[in-house]
Amino acid sequence: MPDWPLAELKQNVEGAEYKAYEIPTGPNGEKGRSTGVTAQNGSVMINENATEDEIQAFFVYQNYLFDNYANPEEGGEFEYGFAEGYDYVFEGDEVKYGEDDIPGGRVDPVKYTLTYDGARIPSLYINTLADFARGIEPETPFEKKMYLQYPEEAWEGARIVVDGAEAQVPSMFTGAPTQTMVDRGDTLDTMLSEGFSKMIYGETSIDQFDALVEQWKSSGGDDVTAEVNEWFDTVNSN
């Protein structure tokens, strides 16, 4: 979120600000939010005709980035970033990461790696930001880079996510889209996103939430729920 779209919000809307908030607690004292499927956020496809040497070369490449870039050592090749002059520069003895600090603008060379994000350890990423919000000073090269790259709003957002881990409810559905998802999934998703957006921006009252839920259910949501539960029962019975 602090990388995209929130960073672009500040670039495109003068004076724009954002702030993270705790997950609201309901009248019965419970709180939670859906996090979708958290087992993965992407995949790497390897051609079935690839040779063994080609496959091994990919893992040598990726392991090198995890060993040297994901959490670099002091004095290492990636101590300050991926490529000087592209994602960081030096002004005297001080390292700079800002868009305006780098001649010609900042370019993220990591986006040109085979996996698009080089090598990233999600737990290290978010826990580091959360620690900053708790007042912990950066010590390692990775922590120092994160400290300079991300605003305090991102630190607090990460802390809320980490401290509220028990309130996050991951989806247990990992199967292929059900028939109703294929037929009406886009319509149902749009219905919810537009409905929530209107409530957030004050175009409709939050009192319309229950009506929105009923509309979603009657428009195919109940069918999706039944199909997903049927899939879940089938998987657990095997």
Same domain, 207 and 159: no
Among 32-46, 117-131, 171-185, 203-217, whose mean pLDDT is lowest?
32-46
Rounded to the nearest integer, the mean pLDDT of the chain is: 91
Domain boundary among 141, 170, 199: 170
First-to-final CA distance of the chain: 38
Its domain, for residue 65, covers 6-35+50-170
- Sequence-separated contacts (24+) of 122-126 with Cβ below 8 Å: 124/70, 124/71, 126/158, 126/161, 126/162
Same domain, 121 and 154: yes
Same domain, 101 and 217: no
Same domain, 156 and 216: no
* Number of domains observed in the structure of the chain: 2
| pLDDT for 204 beyond 80 | yes
Considering the domain boundaries, does residue 1 fall inside one? no
Same domain, 13 and 128: yes
Same domain, 11 and 105: yes
Element (H, E) at 122: helix 122-133
Query: Which pLDDT score is estimated for 129?
Result: 96
Same domain, 24 and 122: yes
Q: Using an 8 Å Cβ cutoff, are 153 and 2 in contact?
A: yes
| pLDDT for 169 beyond 60 | yes
Query: Which pLDDT score is estimated for 149?
Result: 87
Domain boundary among 170, 194, 221: 170
Considering the domain boundaries, does residue 44 fall inside one? no
Tally Cβ neighbours within 10 Å of residue 11.
10
